[in-house]
Amino acid sequence: MILRLSLPLILLLIIVPQSIQGSIFKTFSNTLSPKYPPYSFVFPLSGNVFPLGYYSVSLQIGNPPKDFTFDVDTGSDLTWVQCDAPCSGCTVRTELQYKPKSNTVPCSDSICSALHWPQKPECLNPKEQCDYEVEYADQGSSMGALVVDQFSLKLLDGSSFVPRLAFGCGYDQHFPSAHLPPATVGVLGLGKGKISILTQLVSARLTRNVFGHCLSSKGGGYLFFGDNVIPSTGVSWTTLVSPNNHHYTTGPAELLYNGKPTGLNGLKLIFDSGSTYTYFNRKTYQAIVNLIGNDLKGKPVKDVKDDKTLAICWKGAKPLKSVLEVKNLFKTLTINFKNGRTNSQLQIPPESYLIVSKTGNVCLGILNGSEAGLQDSNVIGDISMQGAMVIYDNEKQQLGWVSADCDKLPK
C-alpha cells in the first residue's frame, strides 16, 4: 500500500500465496548451510515525513553493483524498479534506470506462478518472460517483467552476500498528473508474500523472517532484516491478526486521549511504512478531530483555512519552526492493545501526529481514511512511527515497538 502525501489509497493487485516457493529460491538455498544463520542486515534510510513524504533506502543491484533508491513499503510484496527496456513514463533519467541483461524470469518458473496467484500466468510459450502489472487506486500503474539479479548486501560485521533475487523491471509507468511523481526509482515491497525481498532472503536461509525500521523525526533512520539488533528488553508486543493477509494488521485495540477512554474500541490497525500519514475510519477520525478541537478552545492557536498542506491546520501568534513550540497545547493519543490478560500501549505524542507547514502553521497528520478510499480501515503511517524501532516478526506473528534513537545506526 502506498499513501504518500495524502494520496488516495494505492492497492497492489498482486497477492502471493504463502505456500509456493520458486525454483529461484531453491537454486540459491542449496548452496548454503542447512543451519539457520543469525545474519542481520542494516540499511541507512533517507527522507522524512514532511516535506518529502517518504523514507527511502538505497540498494545495490547488478554486476558491477549500481545504486537504486526505493520507497520502503511494508504494505505491498513486489519490489520493482524503473527499467530501461526502454521505458515509457519513467520519472528518472535513463542512466539512473535499471538495465536488464537477458535475465528475465521465464513464464514457466514457479515464482511467476506465485506472482500471479490465484490466477495463472498468461503465456503461450513457457519460455516467454513473466510479465507483471501493478495498478493503483489513484490511476497510477507500473507494468514490466520479472527479472533476477544479484543484490550486494552488507552484514553488521562488514562482510557481504550477493544473493540473486527476483524483482520487477518496470518499463511502463503511469503517474497521475495531479501529483508530483516520486523521486525514488522504485518500491521495496516488504509484505508477507513469497515475492517480497525479505521472504526470498529467508528462503535462501540468509536471515530470519523478522525485519523492522526506525524512522527519525529529524529525517533518515534505518531499516533492518534479522533479529540481532532488537533489544532484549523494553519492547512492547501485540499479535498480528489475519495471517493470510499481506498487510501487517493488529488489534482489536481501543483509543485513549490524554490517557482517558474515548469509547472507541475494537479498532484494527494496519502498520504501513508506505503511508506518510496516519488514517482512521470516518467515525474515529471525527472523534479525534472533535477531541483536539475542544481541547484547543481558549488556547493561542486558531483554525486557518488558506493552508492546504493538510485537511486541518492551525495558526499560532507567529509562524512556527517546530512542532515542539506548540507540543504542550496538544495531548497524547494512545492505542491500547488487549493481548489476552495483558495490555500493550503505543503512545502517539503530538510530535507524532503533527507537522509544521512551509508557511509556519501546525497541521494535523491524521487523515480521514474513508475519504482516501480505505473504507473502514485504519492505518498507522510513518508520522506515528517516528522515534521508535518498529519490529515486524513474521515468525511469531507479532508486531513490536520500543523508543529508540533512530539517528544512530545499530552496531
Q: Which residues are catalytic?
A: 73, 272
For residues 274 and 290, is the Cβ–Cβ distance under 8 A? no
At position 174, the amino acid (one-letter code) is H
Peptide bond connecting 181 to the previous residue in cis, omega within 30 degrees of 0:
no
Sole residue written with cell 492505518: 379
Residue with C-alpha cell 503461450? 124
Cα separation values, 19 from 7, 52, 113, 211, 247, Å: 33, 37, 11, 20, 17
- Three-state SS at 385: helix
Count the Cβ atoms, other than its own, within 10 Å of residue 288: 21
Q: Where are the beta strands (DSSP E) in 234-306?
A: 236-241, 249-257, 260-261, 267-271, 278-280, 302-303
As a whole number of angstroms, the distance between CA 193 and CA 191 comes to 6
DSSP secondary structure of 105-125: PBTTSHHHHHHHTTS----SS
Q: Which residues of 341-364 are buried (b: 16+ CB within 10 A; e: fewer)?
A: eeebebbbbbbbbbbbbeeebbbb
Is residue 277 within 8 A of residue 288, CB to CB? The reply is no
